[in-house]
Structure 1
Amino acid sequence: MPIGIIESLDHEARGITRQEGKAIFVDGALPGETVDYASFRRKPNYELAHLVGVLKPSTVRVQPRCPHFGICGGCAMQHMEPSAQVAAKQRVLEDSLWHIGRVRPQTMLPPIHGEPWGYRHRARFAVRKVERKGGMLIGFHEKRSSYIADMKTCAILPPHVSAMLVPLRELIAALSIAERMPQLELAVGEHCTALVLRILQALTAADEKLLRAFADRYQVIFYLQPKGPDSAYRFYPVDGPRLSYTLPEFGLELDFRPTDFTQVNHAVNRILVRRALGLLEPQPGERIADMFCGLGNFTLPIARSGATALGVEGSPALVKRGRESALANGLGDRVEFGVANLFDCTEESMGKLGHFDKMLIDPPREGAIELVKALGANSPRRIVYVSCNPATLARDAAVLVSLKGYRFVAAGAINMFPHTAHVESIAVFERD
């Protein structure tokens, strides 16, 4: 059995050791550990391996809280002390910026982090009947597999949702369309919890009765989704609390649909918005763009701070809800929203939006390469970039620094998804 000393973690939270110059990526191993491992995939330049035993454990190794850890693909780092996870993600960010973009910020910001358990207010679960595992399964996929983990609890879900997993399995198993329901989506708001059932066949009257009884007992709202995400509609109860989240520091409440994109971690999102606005420093009289604005998570706080905000987003449905939230929060006169494909923008199309004093960019994993390339001579003097992928942030930062004349002022990690390998981050760029 090969023995290796783990040097560091990669971007998927695997331990890295080396044998004769070849990198070995070991699932479940931590930096500083001496481990036994067994390779399951060999390539000329690297190998993928399972952890067999820990001969010398790391001081930050802890007992995973979840009994499904190691099988379920929902988490990758529960065996690592939470503060050490944050430090590891900060290192992943720094390494990506340098090795991919050849850029370094002048200052590393303190990482943003929060409560490591019960934080996940959004989730998408696979649903499948598997007789050899006892019947109906609802959960995340197993690691590197299309199989569904046999989850009975989940420590990263809010406790009231974790406690519902087994009753939900029993409910769906009792429906006539149990084998025609491939997916269940969770959205927890400030005042209610919504469950979206993806149905490939209509419910019977008996099915509807079961759903109503479950909703009443567990105080949830059921949505039914017969086709794509836009087809989801509120089934029961029809009236009652609405889905929303709040940004109390800015006196804001934003409504959303359960299939809309919102941040999964409400507490960390509040800290992130505060940090982003502190770095952006909106001032009365300034015109500030929020690119990839979604529902207006940053647009509305920018406007609340006294500046005029323009939110730009590719989804007309999200822009519509952003406008509604602006009006509901009394910001209709300081916020504009527009629909545009920011993956296909040019210097000409950007110029038509007018001059911006500052800009916030919050793209999906693909990053914002076309947007940063399209920034012209009249580009904003300060850019705050919120990223969910260190690799595309590094690539875009290189363009901003090398081609667009910006200074890379600061960057820091955001632990939006504790116990996972996801690294989110925030960065600041300025030009004279």
Structure 2
Amino acid sequence: MSKRRRKVLPQEPVRCQIETLSHDGRGIARAEGKTQFVDGALPGEAVMAKMVSTRSRFDELRTLEVLESAPDRQTPPCEFADLCGGCSLQHMSADAQIRFKENTLKEHFAHFGGIEPEQWIEPMRSPDSLGYRRKARLGVRFVKARDSVLVGFREKRNSFLTDINRCAVLDPRIGDRIQPLRDLIQSMKAFDRIAQVEVACGDDTAAMVFRNMDELVPEDHQKLVDFGQAHDLHIYLQPKGPDTVHRIWPASAGRDDERLTYRMDAFDLQMQFHPMDFTQVNAGINRSMVQRAVDWLDVQPGERVL
């Protein structure tokens, strides 16, 4: 049986007039009755775009040049935004991003649930547009052709890892240490046996959980400890499933000792969580959500909220 031939894509850029946005933030244009999904384009814009894939019903393209710019366009604050799949809307102003997400939610309520809420609450806004993300899973891959270790997020609509040395959206305790983390793994004997690094930040402590596919030699173990000491990070290993996660720096006195914390000052609470637990990625928004929920409950004296 002969192999199916891959379609040869046009190499010449094409002009696209963007009408609206898809639910995942891509610009939508039309050409000869066919839908075009254009990465990096906004409604009302005219762009030159390159074809990256074609299907019977739609094409996928990537913006190369903006010919006519929309008012909501901004220069992405991250130099890797055009390629990295960790963010998809950095070319859109913060206000426009909130409007887009709100409208997408409304459309999903109507389309999938047939629901039209009587009242929409004003969206919560983060005080920080950068450096707020406290939880992430970073891919790790040794690229033989480059003789280099990459650490980060996948490229947009691709399985390759993006070649980054920092991340502006991650908490700086993690985002500013991507390059040192790459250098660390590159220096280890197990440079090609670290599958991923789970990162989590509490108010006072940041943690990295290394998914080691093989048992580490003492030299690699010590390098991780030294890295934690040098960068004020808690270091964990995960040799197998989630239940095997354990801290190697600082020395652990048991799982209860391995938890991070964040404060809820409005309620005089300190919450504990393990680096592998689910937590909201944005601490400021999380506090606002809890406060709003308590306000809506109209808690009376003597009542408790779980």
Tell me, yes or no, whether TM beats 0.5. Answer: yes
Residue 266 of structure 2: aligned partner: 249
2:117 partner letter: P
Q: Is the 8 A contact 2:259 2:275 kept in 1?
A: no
Distance 1:108 1:246 in 2: 29
Q: Secondary structure at the match of 1:86?
A: helix
Q: What is the Cα-based RMSD across aligned positions, in Å?
A: 2.0
Q: Does 1:238 align with 2:251?
A: yes
Q: Does 1:169 align with 2:182?
A: yes
Distance 1:133 1:84 in 2: 39
Distance 2:51 2:179 in 1: 36
Residue 4 of structure 2: aligned partner: none
Distance 2:276 2:188 in 1: 23
Q: CA deviation at 1:76?
A: 0.3
Q: Is the 8 A contact 2:133 2:169 kept in 1?
A: yes
Note the 1:86-235 alignment, pairs <5 A: 86-114=98-126, 115-235=128-248
Q: CA deviation at 1:241?
A: 8.1
Higher mean alpha-carbon deviation, 97-106 vs 117-126, is at 97-106
Distance 1:202 1:220 in 2: 21
Q: CA deviation at 1:33?
A: 0.9
Q: Structure 1, residues 352-375: CA drift from partner, whole Å, max 9, x if none?
A: xxxxxxxxxxxxxxxxxxxxxxxx
Pick closer, same or farther for the CA change 1:39–1:175 going to 2, 3 Å.
closer
2:86 partner letter: G
Q: Secondary structure at the match of 1:234?
A: strand
Q: Secondary structure at the match of 1:182?
A: strand
Q: Secondary structure at the match of 2:145?
A: helix
Q: CA deviation at 1:99?
A: 2.2
Distance 2:57 2:187 in 1: 51
Q: Which runs of 5+ in 1 are unaligned?
A: 286-305, 310-432
Q: CA deviation at 1:37?
A: 3.0
Q: Structure 1, residues 188-211: CA drift from partner, whole Å, max 9, x if none?
A: 111211110111111222122212
Distance 2:21 2:285 in 1: 24
Q: Which runs of 5+ in 2 are unaligned?
A: 1-12
Q: Secondary structure at the match of 1:116?
A: coil
Note the 1:292-331 alignment, pairs <5 A: 306-307=303-304, 309=306
Q: CA deviation at 1:260?
A: 0.9
Distance 1:49 1:43 in 2: 12
Relative contact order, higher structure (CA 8 A, sep 6+): 1
Residue 368 of structure 1: aligned partner: none
What is the TM-score of this pair, normalised by structure 2? 0.88
2:204 partner letter: H
Q: Percent identity?
A: 38
Pick closer, same or farther for the CA change 1:126–1:241 going to 2, 3 Å.
closer
Q: CA deviation at 1:109?
A: 1.1
2:267 partner letter: F
1:149 partner letter: T
Q: Is the 8 A contact 1:197 1:223 kept in 2?
A: yes
Q: Secondary structure at the match of 2:192?
A: helix
Distance 1:242 1:97 in 2: 37
Q: Is the 8 A contact 2:258 2:274 kept in 1?
A: no
State how many pairs are aligned.
289
2:238 partner letter: Q
Q: Is the 8 A contact 1:186 1:196 kept in 2?
A: yes
Pick closer, same or farther for the CA change 1:237–1:31 going to 2, 3 Å.
same
Q: CA deviation at 1:233?
A: 0.6
Pick closer, same or farther for the CA change 1:308–1:112 going to 2, 3 Å.
closer
Q: Is the 8 A contact 1:7 1:31 kept in 2?
A: yes
